[in-house]
Amino acid sequence: DAKTTQPNSMESNEEEPVHLPCNHSTISGTDYIHWYRQLPSQGPEYVIHGLTSNVNNRMASLAIAEDRKSSTLILHRATLRDAAVYYCILRVSSNDYKLSFGAGTTVTVRA
Amino acid sequence: DSGVTQTPKHLITATGQRVTLRCSPRSGDLSVYWYQQSLDQGLQFLIQYYNGEERAKGNILERFSAQQFPDLHSELNLSSLELGDSALYFCASSVDRTGELFFGEGSRLTVL
């Protein structure tokens, strides 16, 4: 499966933007980029996904590099509730939906 | 609330025993996925079912088995339990094979 690389941890102040990078240099043309997050003591939660174009939803924005070898999840105004582990995942179309989660990025938000 | 229900929330058992974890997917979702999360392995994909049929298999041990019933609920059976099987087991569902996953709150299994 195509792999992703994320920083182990990031810190942010409340109400400031958070930019979470993800490298996926071996991505294939049909692989979707998915982001999930896992709050303490909860199951993972879908955040956003995209293929080539930048995407926005109520939770976050996803900026995808032109060569698709990297992407950035943007939380526009971090709140304490955004403290979680954020996973960047590639959905390989040839493998149905066998999502493989890496270690993710642990985001800490300071009040 | 994701709409995915898992029972039991907590389970403590002994080595060598067998347990069954149950998952009710969101209404209308045809796909069910099972994941295992342990401290040293992270989230590991175990198996996926779509409308009653097994569609994808991950790192699932032979001691583990799963099935999806006609009403679309799923069960994960873990047998000959070992200490290393202690983990959080998550079920997720999606509308089809490619939609976003909705995860339940997990079943925490402790093997003593």
Q: What's residue B73's pLDDT? A: 97
What's the whole-number average pLDDT of chain B? 93
Are residues B56 and A95, on separate chains, in Cβ contact within 8 Å? yes
Q: Which residues of B touch A (CB under 8 A)?
A: 2, 4, 31, 33, 35, 42-45, 48, 55-56, 58, 90, 92, 94, 97-106
- Give A106→chain B minimum CA distance, Å: 13
The answer to whether B45 and A99 have CB atoms below 8 angstroms apart is yes
Going from the C-alpha of B109 to that of each of A6, B47, B87, the distances in angstroms are: 29, 18, 5
Tell me, rounded to whole angstroms, the distance of Cα B47 from its chain centroid.
8
Mean pLDDT, residues A35-64: 93
The answer to whether A49 and A99 have CB atoms below 8 angstroms apart is no
**Cα(B53)–Cα(B65) distance, integer angstroms:** 13
Q: Which residues, in sequence order, are bridge partners of residue A4?
A: none
Instruction: Kindly report the number of other CB atoms within 10 A of residue B94's CB atom.
Output: 22
Give B96 or A45, the one with higher predicted confidence.
Answer: A45
Q: What's residue A7's pLDDT? A: 96
**What's the pLDDT tens digit per position in B45-92?**
999 999 999 988 888 999 999 999 999 999 999 999 999 999 999 999
What's the whole-number average pLDDT of chain A? 90
Are residues A101 and B43, on separate chains, in Cβ contact within 8 Å? yes
Q: Which of B44, B55, B103 has the CB atom closest to A43's CB atom?
A: B103
Q: What's residue A3's pLDDT? A: 85
